Amino acid sequence: MAGDTLTSSEYIKHHLTNLTFGQHADGSWGLAHSAAEAKEMGFWAINVDTMFWSILLGGLFIYFGKKVADRVTSEVPGGLQNFAEWLVEFVDDSVRGSFSGRNPLVAPLALTIFVWIFLQNLMDLVPVDVIPYISGALGIHFMKVVPSTDPNGTFGMAIGVFLLTLYYSIKIKGVGGFMGELTLQPFSSDNVIVKLLFIPINFVLEFVSLIAKPISLALRLFGNMYAGEMIFILIALMYNAGIVLGLFGGVLQLGWAIFHILIITLQAFIFMTLTIVYLDMAHNEH
């Protein structure tokens, strides 16, 4: 989308609006043609671009994983196998350092989360005008290519982790043990009256702590990636408006892109590590 065809606020709003499918005010279903229309579609609307890019990147991860598995050899490995082995060892070391239980799901889950989120974040390095310009030429009004800048996407992943945490908390400790953690911790006493007195207090404290886990997990990833995307958009806006010229604009983009690589990797690592920690807490009793 050319910067000179839109005002500054319209340019920013265009790049921050998802391609949304939902129910229009007249009852028909279809794609939204404006940010206001997308907002009016309500809860059952779907951000098509978030779904498309996240599924595509997940499919690419599966494809390359299968490609490595099909060509794995005990002889001199190729570059792709070396990279895959290094990645698996890196995640395995993280799991060994943070997870004290025994669960064959945790390491593959951690690997999937790290790579999938990293690939989603990596899309932030694609020049901000390229894909929206191509999609605009194809008649698609909006196209956000970074799924992790959509809170719907980050909350979806966080809620998945949260449900697994609840599942293993109940499976390992039982319903009584899990409810005991919510109502009898951190205070404890042999006096029944004291226990009854502190049960509602404990429940409020522990319930807030429990709910804060998926919320903080989702908002941390979303906030950091959204801020990074906004900076790329502002640099592109200044370049298109002639505020920064020529080589200087390219240097700004390149400098922020290099720094943003650290943020991209760190956010994927933090999400993975907290997932491991939450599952470890679900497997351990006080």
Question: Which residues are catalytic, by number?
Answer: 216, 220, 224
CB under 8 Å to 26, separation ≥6 — which residues? none
Sheet holding 20-23, edge to edge: 29-31, 20-23, 46-47
- Whether the CB-CB separation of 202 and 186 falls below 8 Å is answered with yes
195: left (phi over 0), alpha (psi -120 to 50) or beta: alpha
How many other CB atoms are found less than 10 A from the CB of residue 222?
A: 20
* Dist CA 159 CA 46 (whole Å): 17
User: What is the separation of C-alpha 58 from the centre of its chain, rounded to a whole number of angstroms?
Assistant: 12
Amino acid at 259: F
How many other CB atoms are found less than 10 A from the CB of residue 48?
A: 19
CA atoms within 13 A on the CB side of 158: 23
* Dist CA 14 CA 11 (whole Å): 5
Residue 243, classed as helix, strand or coil, is coil
Per DSSP, what are the bridge partners of residue 30? 22
